[in-house]
Amino acid sequence: MTTKATTRKRSRAEAEAEKPVLSSEDEFEIPEINGDEDSSDDSDFTAGDEDSDEEEEISSGAEDEEDEEDIDSDEIPSEDEVSPKENGATNGDASDDEEAAPIDNVKVVTGADGNPRYIYPEIEPVYDSDDTDAEETNTIGNIPLEYYENYPHVGYDINGKRIMRPAAGKALDTLLDSIELPKGWTGLVDKNSGAALNLTEEELEIVKKLQRSEITDEGFDPYPDMVEWFSSKVEQMPLSSAPEPKRRFVPSKHEQKRIMKIVKGIREGRILPHKPQAESSQEPEFYDIWADDAPPKPDHVMNIPAPKLPPPTHDESYNPPLEYLPNDKEKKEWEEQDPEDREKNYLPRTHKALRLVPGFNGFIGERFERCLDLYLAPRVRRNKLNIDPASLLPKLPSPDDLKPFPTTCATVYRGHEGRVRSVAADPTGVWVATGGDDGTVRVWEILTGRQVWKLKVSSDEAVDSVTWRPTTEGRILAAACGNEILLVVPPIFDFEEENQGKEILSAGYGYAANRQGKKEAPGTWSKPDAALEEEGVVVTITVRKTVKYIAWHRRGDYLVTVSPEDVRRAVCVHRVSTHLSQTPFKEKSVTKGIPQRVQFHPSKPLLFVATKRYIKIYDLAKAELSKTLKPGARWISSIDIHPQGDNLIVGSYDKRLLWHDLDLSTKPYRTLRYHDKGIRAVSFHRGGFPLFCSSSDDGTVQVFHGRIYSDLMENALIVPLKVLKGHKITAHLGVLDVDWHPKQPWLFSAGADGTARLWN
């Protein structure tokens, strides 16, 4: 069987050798197919081998081949003996094989897959030309050197002289070895000692490494074996046990998007899937180089046509008017100029006729310059937005349209010694009350500026706050001086009104008498001493710490006071009709932070407490905190509530005036930073004018238009109107308090310079 197979193979190999058209690629494929055929052949011949599977057959095939080789080598003994053995070992050293089988012209080796491989000899080129350019170095002729083995020379030259044998390495080495050198000799002299500088082996090693620009460290391996952390091999214990990401098995959304884009384009007809090729490509394209303008290109963003050259002028004419012709001086000047500096690259010349005009010798250069210009000049379509800066400003109405508002100082109320701390216009709009550092409360006639009443409350403590009871009947003025709150009926009113006010205030004495046994209240109501009573003071309320601010409830029965120094009872509510004081917040933690200002809501049972950072709105009916506003100010100085109750302004010592819309959010709707120093007081007009103002330590009062709309969709309109300057800054304090006239667009301000002012 084996012999049959070999013969068949050989014959086939011969046939293949006769037609060497097969490319090298096919070489590997052929044996596989053949192998299959072989196996089928085998099965044909050996019925007993049918049970064996394919692999076995192949292996048996390989064994057969080895046998074949042996047979071959046996068959052809003239062949080089080494080559078949090498063949078997090296498994396909092609060149050797070819040399080994020159007669057969083919050699069979066992391939990597175990199948026989046919290796063909290399075609030897035959150079028929003589080798003249080969340099001849041997001058001793074609005589073997062995002949001169025992002689010092190796031959003779053309003159018959001996050609001496070149010095062999051995002789040099022996010479060098004969010279004794101390170990580590360098031939250098130590600069310090004068002795010979010897280097140890380690040092020499370092020097060598340095010369090789290697790292001198002992044991440093610059080429460590690479650890293949990430390889194609699936490890038993993978580095990361993360499950395969979803994207590996979920269809790509991006691709889907792109596909859908194309699908959409097809549906809309933008993309034609089977568009017939344009036939124009078949025709050659011509370009009309004589056309005046380049053919119009399709409109495209990146297509920027070159700017046109200016049309020729008079001096470019072949026969320009005389005034365009240069005179000698101009000609000379032009010629002397550097070509780069010349305004024009030609001199106007005159010719008798157009046909006499010579060619322009600078034409090529000029075209080249033009091309350079077009090529090098960056031409970019710049999408410049042409915005009128004025249009970016909010459209605010002109202050002239928002009249009336206070513009000038009409009256100066002089009399206070020291700062005027507080100012309040009475509800009838005829009087204005002020309180100051000199411990006095004064009432003034508004327009004339005449002081009509004065009450010396204290000699050492300032009157920090004065405020009128906001009702039409009973003119009562509340003034805070130290830790006392005085409720006064100034004797400037009609007797009826005066008596009414006194009755209102005295009515609570009965209640106070009934309440003797109760434990300590935050405020003590008492009759003033005779001197004060004579002046019109009806009741004094004494609290524990200095009262800084008083605010009335709109009905005039309650008033709320703030004494920031009192930690536990900073906010006190006093009821006039029962002479009762109470603290709405039992614990300090309820308010958290030092209260600065308090204010009743103008219509709802809400109490606004401004601490240093926040404004807390308490629902008095439900006795709970209903909202906390965060104006973002560092230290709130004052607040005021819009008479309609939905808006709030906050002044802060960090120069900001903040407008809160209670319907919008806890953050301010608008921040107004117009003051140079901290804001001391803010105030809304309550008499129907959409005005509000802020006063600051920079000595100014700023008036704003603040219109709110009944339409809930529309936000408030705030327009700065006027800066009122007049108060002098005294000891870094400017305007300490402001108040509006109840009906007119007039403004009162209390200054640290000892004056109060009326602005209209």
Distance CA 433, CA 756 (A): 10
Does position 418 interact with other proteins (CB under 8 A)? The reply is: no
- Tell me how far, at minimum, the Cβ of 422 lies from other proteins, in Å: 23
CB of 727 to other proteins, least distance (A): 17
For 27, residues 6+ apart whose C-beta sits below 8 A from its C-beta are: 117, 118
* Closest CB 543 distance from other proteins, rounded Å: 25
Identify residue 398 by its one-letter amino acid code: S
Does the protein bind other proteins through residue 695 (CB under 8 A)?
no
Contact pattern from residue 365 through residue 404 relative to other proteins, giving x for each residue in contact according to CB under 8 A and a dash for the rest: -----------------------------------x--xx
Of the two residues 267 and 403, which places its CB atom closer to other proteins in the complex? Answer: 403
Q: Which of 444, 493, 558, 608 binds other proteins (CB under 8 A)?
A: 493
Would you count residue 59 as binding other proteins (CB under 8 A)? no
Residue 119 and residue 109: Cα distance in Å, rounded?
7
Q: In degrees rounded to 5, what are phi and psi of residue 389?
A: -60, -25
Sheet holding 636-641, edge to edge: 636-641, 647-652, 657-661, 670-672
Which of residues 492, 532, 625, 717 is near other proteins by CB under 8 A? 492
Window 729-758: contact mask with other proteins (x via CB under 8 A): --------------xx-x------------
User: Which secondary-structure segment (H or E) carries 738?
Assistant: strand 735-740
Task: Please give the helix or strand (H or E) that residue 14 lies within, else none.
Answer: helix 2-18
Judged by CB under 8 A, the chain residues 472 through 491 that form the site for other proteins are: 491
Q: Which is nearer to other proteins, 190 or 534 (CB)?
A: 534
- C-alpha to C-alpha distance for 474 and 411, rounded to whole angstroms: 27
Indicate the burial class of 468 (C-beta count within 10 angstroms; 0-12, 13-18, 19 or more).
buried
Of the listed pieces 124-132, 250-258, 280-288, 443-451, which binds other proteins according to CB under 8 A?
443-451
Tokens of 210: 């340095």
User: By C-beta, is 91 or 448 nearer to other proteins?
Assistant: 448
Provide, rounded to whole angstroms, the least separation between the CB of residue 759 and other proteins.
11
Find the binder of other proteins among 4, 450, 604, 732 (CB under 8 A).
450
Q: What is the DSSP string of 593-662?
A: S---EEEE-SSSSEEEEE-SS-EEEEETTTTEEEEEE----SSEEEEEE-TTSSEEEEEETTS-EEEEET
Binding-residue pattern over the window 705 to 724 for other proteins, x denoting contact by CB under 8 A: --------------------
Q: Is 497 in the site for other proteins (CB under 8 A)?
A: yes
Binders in 502-521 for other proteins, by CB under 8 A = 502
| Position 444, amino acid | W
- Which of these segments, 190-198, 297-305, 408-416, 654-662, binds other proteins (CB under 8 A)? 408-416
Q: How far is the CB of 719 from other proteins (least distance, A)?
A: 17
> Measuring CA to CA, which residue among 453, 452, 448, 455 is closest to residue 412?
448
| Chain mean position to CA 419 | 51
* Eight-class DSSP state of 710: S
Nearer to other proteins, 107 or 579 (CB): 579
Give me the half-sphere count of Cα atoms (radius 13 Å) on the Cβ side of residue 219: 0
Stretch that binds other proteins, among 147-155, 308-316, 528-536, 567-575 (CB under 8 A): 528-536
* H-only helix segments in 488-541: 495-506, 509-514, 530-535
Q: Indicate which single residue of 235, 283, 288, 494 sits in contact with other proteins (rule: CB under 8 A).
A: 494
Q: In sequence order, what are the residues at sequence separation of 6 or more whose Cβ sits closer than 8 angstroms to the Cβ of residue 539?
A: 486, 487, 505, 506, 508, 525, 526, 527, 528, 579
* CA neighbor of 537 nearest in space, from 483, 495, 476: 476
Total residues binding other proteins (CB under 8 A): 32
Q: How far is the CB of 430 from other proteins (least distance, A)?
A: 5
Distance in Å, CB of 410 to other proteins, minimum: 5
Q: What would you measure as the largest C-alpha separation in the chain, in angstroms?
A: 163
Q: Does 448 bind other proteins (CB under 8 A)?
A: yes
Which neighbouring-strand residues pair with 539?
487
Name which of 715 and 760 has its Cβ closer to other proteins. Answer: 760
Decide whether 253 or 450 has the Cβ nearer to other proteins.
450
If binding is defined by CB under 8 A, does position 410 make contact with other proteins? Answer: yes
Q: Which of 46, 428, 603, 665 contacts other proteins by CB under 8 A?
A: 428
Please tell me whether residue 197 binds other proteins under the rule CB under 8 A: no
Q: Among 35, 111, 427, 449, which residue sits at the site for other proteins (rule: CB under 8 A)?
A: 449
State the residues that interact with other proteins by CB under 8 A. Answer: 400, 403-404, 408, 410-411, 428-430, 445, 447-450, 452, 491-499, 502, 533-535, 743-744, 746, 760
